[in-house]
Chains A and B, each alone.
Chain A
Amino acid sequence: EVQLVESGGDLVQPGGSLRLSCAASGFTFSDHYMDWVRQAPGKGLEWVGRIRNKANSYTTEYAASVKGRFTVSRDDSKNSLFLQMNSLKTEDTAVYYCARSMITVTPYSFDYWGQGTLVTVSS
């Protein structure tokens, strides 16, 4: 069974940093691209970023709203995905989801999502 479990969400002050983790199980993590998607309270979904697999040099893509402040990384040996968030702003307050990308048909859509972790940026 595919499982994605996020952790690390917390209350942080504006300008602060936070690192989110996503623990994956039930599939060959290293094969898949992985994504982060967020949802501000009462709002819709916003894609944050993607990291490709080793075969594609672990390259990354980001939304303009987080580029230069957030970094997506992964540790295939630990089946883990990370989101390093720096220079946090109040508008980064959201539930952050990790999502697995399919590897059967390109380009890759999402198939499984984690349960999310809440990040609150407030003074």
Chain B
Amino acid sequence: DIQMTQSPSSLSASVGDRVTITCRASQGITNYLAWFQQKPGKAPKSLIYAASSLQSGVSSKFSGSGSGTDFTLTISSLQPEDFATYYCQQYNSYPFTFGGGTKVEIK
């Protein structure tokens, strides 16, 4: 199975900060990488697919990059509604696997 490692596991940031989360795959997954946002008690929300393509209706303050084994999710200017847990997921091969999550908290 492909292991997905996210870092950091948590971070504290202020409103307006630029935030970057990294995700590393244990083997190459080309660009078959998705990012999801989850708020407490809520279902995940799809943000990005194919490493850098924004899902319909998702704010352009979210951006993704990377290919192969190393990927990043960037939030350009953190807003109160962005405080949540973020997960990466590879869908290059079965079983699909998720990273452990990055909790973004208010500083």
Contact = CB atoms under 8 A, between A and B. Distances in A.
B87 interface: yes
A113 B46 contact: yes
B21 interface: no
A100 B66 CA distance: 24
A25 interface: no
Majority DSSP secondary structure for residues of B touching A: loop
Majority DSSP secondary structure for residues of A touching B: strand
Interface stretch (B12-20, B68-76, B95-103): B95-103
Contacts of A37: 44
B89 A111 contact: no
Given A97-B43, A105-B49, A112-B46, A44 B91 contact: no
B45 interface: yes
Nearest to A98: B43
Contacts of B42: 115
A44 B46 contact: no
A45 B89 contact: yes
Nearest to A67: B95
B103 to A, nearest CB: 11
A107 B92 contact: yes
Interface string A92-123: 00000100001001011111111110000000
CB-based closest 8 A-B pairs: A109-B49, A47-B96, A113-B43, A45-B98, A109-B34, A63-B95, A61-B94, A44-B101
